Amino acid sequence: MKNQFEIATNLLQLISSEDAYQYRIVPVKETADTWVFKTDATNQKTLSQELSIVFGKTIELEPEASNVIQKYLENNYRRRTKTNQQKSLTHSEDFLLNIIFEAKEIGSSDIHFEIFENQARIRLRIDGKLMERYVISLEEYPKIINRIKIMASLDISEKRLPQDGRINLTTEEEDFDIRVSSLPTLHGEKLVLRILSKNNVHVLLENLGFTKNELTTYKTAVQKPNGIVLISGPTGSGKTTTLYATLKLLNKNETNILTIEDPIEYTLEGVNQVQLKQNIGLDFASTLRTFLRQDPDVIMVGEIRDVDTANMAIRASLTGHLVLSTIHTNSAWATVSRLIDMGVPPFLIASTLNVSVAQRLVRKLCNSCKKETKGLHQHKIHINILDEIETHYEAVGCPNCYQTGYQGRKAVYEIIPITEELVQNIANKKIEINQYLKDNHIATLQTNMIALVKKGVTSFDEVYPFLI
């Protein structure tokens, strides 16, 4: 359902968030010479004259109640901190840098540049959701794309093949990288910029979302001298953050850590990181073979994609190394099935896999405005949940969360330690996993999500897609 306080993107981009809050104005209509705004200002004649000078347009103002103006502002314009405002204004003449710094300052993880038949647009991903921020003319779009490709050292003449690059930007406060990916589409190139803040490498395992028991289980598994630790989940579920937090725990002067990544998302002091380059034969499997001759203690493989990589990871763990990696499966137990499907013998999985982890990210309810609700959710009848949810919280929206009802995200985990009993069952291909998890009090993704709903950390609407 469309938000009644939503402003169309072509109007939204007429003014900055700083101007919107400073003058208490929201755009209503745009013509070639005239812009129309709603405002709660009392001195409308004076304000109209000032805005005409600022924007170089004829300005018409319509009166509106203060509470309505506030709702429009909170729904559509994210405010920056004073320091960040001053920093961004130094780039005010550069549209591209303004977009990048705006995305960085409001906590966006990705910037999407997309072109279609009649228009192009820019969208930002915030807390896992895409938000349209700018509409660009078809004439301006290629200039922006070429500027990005030059900054990322990509070939601007190559528009038929995908390309990957990297941009490094430095401010007075922070040094951060941007991963650039181009994709040829029907009407032109689509670019996605992933913002990689180097501050994120300081994240601790304790702050990610593990329960106390899960954290103990996971730390025990990753501090073993050898074996494999696998983390599964879809793209954007926080696997990389968990891996880097794990490397931070293991990164000691007496430990030799090697990683092969595609791409290197964060640089870690004291860790030897290798960038995958398949076009010259530097793939996961071949690099792992070389790693074994580099006297490693810990090896991180960005992703197990094929049987060769899986076999090399197992070989590395059998020769006394700890191997960390990710894999795309829907649950922790599905990881075992996936390895078997790849052709890895079950007895090797049983003897090398320390722990299998699955994770997802859910948005957290804003503590300032969440509302307690009695009774069961209307969709609950479609889900097999043994424990009744007597009370839960719903998203409302307030100034603190920009009227979204959510603020930040939390990782939800499913952790299956590979015990002696499980080893025997894997080797013999005999196990009823649901009964095993129940008997050993191992919480699944569903169980942990429902627990967060009961605690009021997130809403039923947020976890519902993961439960059906």
pLDDT at 375: 66
Question: What is the average pLDDT across 85-106?
Answer: 67
The answer to whether the pTM exceeds 0.85 is no
pLDDT, averaged across the chain:
86
Helix (H) or strand (E) holding 134: strand 129-136
CATH 3.30.450.90 fits 93-197, yes or no: yes
The residue-averaged pLDDT of 389-407 equals: 84
pLDDT in tens, 62-88: 999 998 998 888 888 876 554 444 343
Question: What's the rounded Cα separation, in Å, for the pair 222 and 308?
Answer: 23
CATH of domain 9-76: 3.30.300.160
d(CA 114, CA 161): 16
CA-based angle 111:302:159, to the nearest 5?
Answer: 45
- The pLDDT score that the predictor gives to residue 89 is 34
328-365 pLDDT per residue, tens = 888 898 898 888 888 888 888 888 999 999 999 999 99
Q: Structure tokens of 266?
A: 């964060």
pLDDT at 386: 44
- For domain 205-466, give its CATH number from 3.20.20.140, 2.130.10.10, 3.40.50.620, 3.40.50.300: 3.40.50.300
For residue 429, pLDDT over 80 is answered with: no
Mark 53-92 as b/e (b = at least 16 C-beta within 10 Å): eeeebebbbeebeeeebbbbbbbbbbbbeeebeebbeebe
CA distance 361 to 463: 10
Q: How far apart are CA 148 and CA 166, in angstroms?
A: 10
Task: Return the higher-pLDDT residue of 326 and 434.
Answer: 326
Domain boundaries, the chain: 9-76, 93-197, 205-466
Give the per-residue pLDDT at 414: 95
For residue 150, the number of C-alpha atoms closer than 13 Å in the C-beta half-sphere is: 7
Q: pLDDT value at position 380?
A: 52
User: pLDDT tens, 280-292?
Assistant: 888 888 899 999 9
